[in-house]
Structure 1
Amino acid sequence: MDKKIGVIASDEELKSRIIELFRDDVQRGKIMIDVLDSDTIDEQGRILEGKGARAIIARSGGYKHTVGKVNIPVIHLNVTTPDIIQAIVTAKKYNKDIVLVISDLDYFDYDSWKDLMNANIILERFHSKDEIYERVLKYKDIKKEVVIVGGGIPCSLARKWGMDNVFINASKESIYEVMGHAKEVIDNLYEQKYNNTVLKTILDEVHDAVIVMNYEGKVRLYNERAMELLKKDREEIIGGNLSEVLPELNFIKDAFERKIDISNKIMTIKNITITVNTSILVMDGKTEGILCTFQDISNLQSLEKKIRHELNKKGLIAKYTFDDVVGFSHIMEEVVGKAKKIGQSDNTVIIYGESGTGKEIFAQSIHNISKRSKEPFVAINCAAISENLLESELFGYEEGSFTGARKGGKPGLFEIAHGGTIFLDEINSISYSLQGKLLRVLQEKETMRIGSDYVIPLNIRIIAATNEELKTMVEEGRFRKDLFYRLNILELHIPPLRERKEDILPLFKYFMGDIAKDLSYEVPSAIEEKLLAYRWPGNARELRNIAERYIIFKEIDIDSKEIHKNPSNIENDSICINLREINRYVEEKVIEMLVNQGMTKTEIANILGISRTALWKKIKSE
């Protein structure tokens, strides 16, 4: 803020004294001085204000003709008794009668000083500029017998008419004092203006409508949000009686009269459902008014939805813990115990398990028990999107790196997960080329956006999940060996539901209780036998679906092909099928057929989605 001070000096003598005392400030334009001019006295204050003055110092007539005509403070440079006495002492040297012409604003107890002055003093006081002229003019005809003592205008008139005169100058102490006061006033005004601006900005930026009513029932504050909700401008509300300008808010007046505070009360005004809070305003033990804040509930709901979306977007939080893992068998207790130990470490993890066994629940639980629990948890299903899209999701991209790239680029999930955990579900579905890029992230702890040459350092933990044995995929040339060993530091195997039959019935009843919390259901023994006989290819996810259907229809609908006739003898079944041998036989026949069609090894490898090296190994083993 420019803190310029304007001065209307009564005379050149006062101007010279101020320059002498504040030469640097005058030269730098911090103090601007105009000499009082009787012809433009009414305009001088406005001229200084127009030049940027934040406060004006004026004396006697200059003060009287400036105050109230400008929008900045006007500070009176008082004519003090010592100043007057000093001027009278100087005037006595003329050996004439002394005519003291001063404003009615200037205090001087003549009766107390006249005997000590040892001079004939005539006191002339004036109220306005026109009276100064009259007070001096009447001594024009006897100018040889008098000396005029006064401020700038009386002395200038005396000089004009050839009369002796003495200017009442201001002491250094008075000037220093008034300058200090002016600077303090400007500083205080700036502080007040700053605080008001901050308060107004805060009030206008908050989501709540804010209204203040004083003890007279008049609206004293009405913020931007209140205008938006009530569709009424500030000008027609501020200062008006609340009952007249905002009759729909009479509950505020009622709360004030009853001296009660409203807390989170829901009500409807103008077809808008709002939540209301009020607080009685008390100053020095006296009730001065009431503050009311209210908010459109639909906005609250939208805000909550947005926050929840942002927090859950891309799985940025892990909502499951080991308390959410439901298992009653000994084997599941061992798995949970091992997972908790894994959670205490910071190594890369591979979770093996069929679809529906709860791999992500374990991944989130491991994250929530780890030292990274306060950091992001980012999850992505690698099988759910195409290779190109998966790469851009994982690594991000720069603006213009490809057709359709978002303006400004986009951070990859590895970047977003920095400091936390990234969960790569169904990692076995990642293509061979993308596996190489993932390997670099694991080895170098850094990533690079598509289309960028800037390396971004990473601090993340990787938890991968697969429904297929990665070691077998390595042997078959479908998964990189080096990536496998980078990932295969810690392993967790979640057994399928058919291998822990003691969990089936407790889980079924647990799901029913979770779905229909207020109801209880008895499961007939025939249904239990059917549940135990079923192989559960969809595991716990499928079991929950069956429980949900049972609650509605009171029967279970499962694929009879997946039911064993004698579940108690399944482990002793004499039928033995080697799936690996079947797969190998099929591969050999497919490769043989493609070779016979005249295709090259490169073409065959591309069709099968494997490397030429892996293809060479398969042909060699035939």
Structure 2
Amino acid sequence: MTKIAFIAPYPELAILAREVCGEKYSDVAIFYGLLENGLICAQKALSEGFQVIISRGGTANLIRNHIGIPVVEVRVTGYDILRTFSEFIGTNKTIGVVGYRNVVEGCRSVSQMLGIPLREMLTLNNERPDWEVMRAYLQAQLERTPVDVVVGDALVVSKLLLEVREVRLIMSGAEAVCEAIEEAQRIIKVQDKEKKSAEQLRTILSFIHDGVIAIDNTGKITVINPSAESIFKLKNTQVIGKNIKQVIPNTKMLDVLKHGKAEIEQLQNTPSGMVVTNRVPIEINGEIMGVVATFKEAGRIQQTEQKIRTKLYSQGLYAKYSFENIMAWDPEMRRIIERAKRYARTDGTVLIEAESGCGKELFAQSIHQASSRCRGPFVAINCSALPTQLLESELFGYVEGAFTGARKEGKPGLIELAHGGTLFLDEIGDMELTLQARLLRVLEERQVMRLGADKWLPVDIRIVAATNAPLKQRVLRGQFRMDLFHRLNVLNLSIPPLRHRREDIIPLAEYFLAEFANKYGQRPIELTAAAKDILLRYSWPGNVRELRNIMERISLVYEEAQDVSAILRDFLGNSDYCNNSDYSTLELAKTGMLAVTPERFLLPQSIRDMKRQLAISTLAACGGNKSKAAKQLGITRATLDRLLRQQE
């Protein structure tokens, strides 16, 4: 594509330009036009998409002042003047020069170098002089002081029509034409590069979600992208070039322009609501030349958080169960479920107290699913399953270098991951006191700090905590902070053990048998009256979890026509838990809710039996974990082993 228009003000220059261009400069179109005619040619070239114009002398000046694209001038070089003056060496002819200042000054230098007498007759500064006045003035000059030869450029000579014997034009040579074309080509390369960069910037600004506004060092708006137009309810065409304070009265960009310090993550009110803005100075060679600001809408931040939460769902941080999964026939249990549903409609902290196996996490997940946070993550952790240091790093996360073995990029804690959702802290009663203090800060301030960090992060979470031992007792023993207990015990949910819900035992057993029959491709097993009696007399120290496990065992070992009650007696008949009332007494004694006295046990060696029974029940409640059972009883593991061996 032809991009350069060469407008020659005299025919000889047009001919020379065609000779020079040939095949070497195929992107140059050549026109002939002097002054106004040259301007007409330039206007036509502009409309046809030419990027640069080349011309000479006064015509070049005229075009430059009326056309908004670059104009390269074919300069009058010392070689051009020397070539014109060389033929007058040794002739003793008097030479008069007329033209614009650059021509006159060039002729003066060459004449002095060659020793040729020169008379400066007329020097022009105005691009559009009154030619008739100039002609009369010059003619009077010639009559007073005649010269042999008048030398000048094509424009002046052609306009003045001098009555002299000899006129010589200062012609541009091939080297001047080549130089002008190459300069025009360099300009086009720069233009194309700038155009490409500008288009890239325009595309970026148009498609990024953040609003962007830039001002120059006078405070005038130079850039505003579509997102910023939307945020501030503005139009690009109406604000470009205006002072930022006129357009956005509450802006702080002028402050940054003044002090030169960036302002990051600042809140600003806009017609679209609250946004987060960053304001950064534009510094060039140590001088503040402007400011650029970005604006992120709160709605887009929430959308980003929603995408993060969606990713958390893919990582398993979600609730699987709802209240529909909780089956209850016992009236008291039904009332507890209704209370939990009411709790779900609030955002208060919930403390669930129940023995192991009663479904504390099932209730926690159901509360989350029925709450306004159901679209957020559900993050659960068992506080007794991890050592204190590991639990702390899992809960609070850490930054790079926080401790030996920490990930290079750091790691967000479960509290952070629960942002916008629910954090379930199971077995919270086993949490160490030092960690309890950090958790209290989260509950009170809704802020979390990673290990090794120095910055608090705000979090929006609901906490549901659970314990299998009364926290009040742990508070009295100095094992749990009283202030944390009161923070957790806002909404209390106490789930009764299965032995106190006799109406639930048989329906649950039949449900589990049907579930496992379907799982293993069997016909459902029917419970006989004798089997039901055994189930109802059993104390179920492992509660619903134990009942489910027993039903699965029955499903796996049952054979056609086999007596289910016989299987149950084999599993449960010799157990010390078949006396429901005895177990209840022991369990109350273990939790400190009932004083244990020898009179309560009428068996021989009642103290020894009581200790043994308490050890067995505690071990069952702890899921068979001897270390945990010993800790809960306040004895050593060796003592626990001795008590357990007494039953053999």
Q: Say if 1:256 and 1:14 are closer, same or farther in 2 by CA, change over 3 A.
A: closer
Corresponding position of 2:12 = 13
Q: CA deviation at 1:188?
A: 0.7
Q: Say if 1:181 and 1:538 are closer, same or farther in 2 by CA, change over 3 A.
A: farther
1:518 equivalent to 2:465? Answer: yes
- Correspondence list, 1:258-277, <5 A: 260-270=261-271, 272-277=273-278
Conserved 8 A contact 1:45-1:69: no
Corresponding position of 2:188 = 186
Conserved 8 A contact 1:78-1:106: no
1:535 equivalent to 2:506? Answer: no
Conserved 8 A contact 1:100-1:122: yes
Matched residues in 2 for 1:214 and 1:541: separation?
A: 73
Q: Say if 1:577 and 1:83 are closer, same or farther in 2 by CA, change over 3 A.
A: same
Q: CA deviation at 1:308?
A: 7.0
The 3-state SS of whatever aligns with 1:232 is coil
The 3-state SS of whatever aligns with 1:40 is helix
Q: Say if 1:577 and 1:168 are closer, same or farther in 2 by CA, change over 3 A.
A: farther
The 3-state SS of whatever aligns with 1:189 is helix
Corresponding position of 2:410 = none
Conserved 8 A contact 1:159-1:165: no
Matched residues in 1 for 2:146 and 2:272: separation?
A: 87
Deviation by residue 1:103-130 (Cα, 9 ceiling, x = unmatched) = 1133635555435434443223223454
Instruction: Please tell me the residue identity of whatever aligns with 1:285.
Output: G
Instruction: Please tell me the residue identity of whatever aligns with 2:70.
Output: P
Matched residues in 2 for 1:161 and 1:538: separation?
A: 124
1:233 equivalent to 2:230? Answer: no
Conserved 8 A contact 1:103-1:126: yes
The 3-state SS of whatever aligns with 2:43 is helix
Conserved 8 A contact 2:220-2:243: yes
Instruction: Please tell me the residue identity of whatever aligns with 1:48.
Output: A
1:201 equivalent to 2:203? Answer: yes
Corresponding position of 2:84 = 87
Is there any run of 5+ residues in structure 1 with no aligned partner, and where? 327-355, 357-503, 543-558, 579-622
Q: CA deviation at 1:257?
A: 4.9
The 3-state SS of whatever aligns with 1:217 is coil
Between 1:91-100 and 1:199-208, the stretch displaced more is: 91-100
The 3-state SS of whatever aligns with 1:43 is helix
Conserved 8 A contact 1:77-1:178: yes
Residue 561 of structure 2, aligned match among 553, 558, 576:
576
Corresponding position of 2:247 = 245
Matched residues in 2 for 1:287 and 1:204: separation?
A: 26
Instruction: Please tell me the residue identity of whatever aligns with 2:29.
Output: M
Q: Say if 1:541 and 1:165 are closer, same or farther in 2 by CA, change over 3 A.
A: farther
The 3-state SS of whatever aligns with 1:240 is coil
Deviation by residue 1:268-289 (Cα, 9 ceiling, x = unmatched) = 3236132222223333233333
Conserved 8 A contact 2:89-2:114: no
Identity %: 18
Conserved 8 A contact 1:36-1:153: no
Is there any run of 5+ residues in structure 2 with no aligned partner, and where? 326-354, 368-423, 425-463, 470-495, 517-526, 539-549, 564-648
Conserved 8 A contact 2:358-2:498: no
Residue 534 of structure 2, aligned match among 547, 551, 566:
566
Matched residues in 2 for 1:39 and 1:157: separation?
A: 13
When the two structures are superposed, what TM-score results if normalisation uses the length of structure 1? 0.51
Conserved 8 A contact 1:148-1:158: no
Matched residues in 1 for 2:71 and 2:52: separation?
A: 6
Corresponding position of 1:169 = 171
Instruction: Please tell me the residue identity of whatever aligns with 1:14.
Output: L
Matched residues in 2 for 1:294 and 1:231: separation?
A: 13
Corresponding position of 1:424 = none
Between 1:133-142 and 1:279-288, the stretch displaced more is: 133-142
- Correspondence list, 1:191-590, <5 A: 191-247=193-249, 249-254=250-255, 257=258, 260-270=261-271, 272-302=273-303, 305=306, 318-320=314-316, 506=357, 508-512=359-363, 517-520=464-467, 523-524=496-497, 526-527=499-500, 534-535=508-509, 537=511, 564-567=532-535, 571=554, 576=561
When the two structures are superposed, what TM-score results if normalisation uses the length of structure 2? 0.49
Conserved 8 A contact 1:263-1:277: yes
Matched residues in 1 for 2:499 and 2:188: separation?
A: 91
Q: Say if 1:114 and 1:227 are closer, same or farther in 2 by CA, change over 3 A.
A: same
Deviation by residue 1:29-77 (Cα, 9 ceiling, x = unmatched) = x212223425534434323323432111121111221112001001121
Q: Say if 1:241 and 1:159 are closer, same or farther in 2 by CA, change over 3 A.
A: closer
Q: How many residues end up aligned between the 2 structures?
A: 376
Conserved 8 A contact 1:25-1:31: no
Corresponding position of 1:56 = 53
Q: CA deviation at 1:227?
A: 1.4
Conserved 8 A contact 1:126-1:135: no
Corresponding position of 1:46 = 43
Q: CA deviation at 1:84?
A: 0.9
Conserved 8 A contact 2:6-2:28: yes
Deviation by residue 1:469-490 (Cα, 9 ceiling, x = unmatched) = xxxxxxxxxxxxxxxxxxxxxx
Instruction: Please tell me the residue identity of whatever aligns with 2:359.
Output: F
Instruction: Please tell me the residue identity of whatever aligns with 1:518.
Output: A
The 3-state SS of whatever aligns with 2:234 is coil
The 3-state SS of whatever aligns with 1:24 is coil
Matched residues in 1 for 2:234 and 2:148: separation?
A: 69
Conserved 8 A contact 2:2-2:29: no
Matched residues in 2 for 1:38 and 1:58: separation?
A: 10
Matched residues in 1 for 2:533 and 2:191: separation?
A: 92
Matched residues in 1 for 2:215 and 2:290: separation?
A: 6
Q: CA deviation at 1:290?
A: 2.7
Matched residues in 2 for 1:233 and 1:21: separation?
A: 50
Instruction: Please tell me the residue identity of whatever aligns with 1:209.
Output: G
Conserved 8 A contact 2:96-2:147: no
The 3-state SS of whatever aligns with 1:198 is helix
Q: CA deviation at 1:167?
A: 2.3
Conserved 8 A contact 1:150-1:168: yes
Q: CA deviation at 1:8?
A: 2.2
The 3-state SS of whatever aligns with 2:206 is helix
Instruction: Please tell me the residue identity of whatever aligns with 1:293.
Output: T
Matched residues in 2 for 1:539 and 1:277: separation?
A: 62
Deviation by residue 1:456-500 (Cα, 9 ceiling, x = unmatched) = xxxxxxxxxxxxxxxxxxxxxxxxxxxxxxxxxxxxxxxxxxxxx
Matched residues in 1 for 2:78 and 2:242: separation?
A: 49
Conserved 8 A contact 2:108-2:118: no
Q: Say if 1:113 and 1:215 are closer, same or farther in 2 by CA, change over 3 A.
A: closer
Corresponding position of 2:123 = 125
Q: CA deviation at 1:171?
A: 2.5
Corresponding position of 1:608 = none
1:68 equivalent to 2:73? Answer: no
The 3-state SS of whatever aligns with 2:509 is coil
Deviation by residue 1:202-233 (Cα, 9 ceiling, x = unmatched) = 11221111112344333332211111222222
Instruction: Please tell me the residue identity of whatever aligns with 1:520.
Output: T
The 3-state SS of whatever aligns with 2:103 is coil
Matched residues in 1 for 2:129 and 2:515: separation?
A: 100
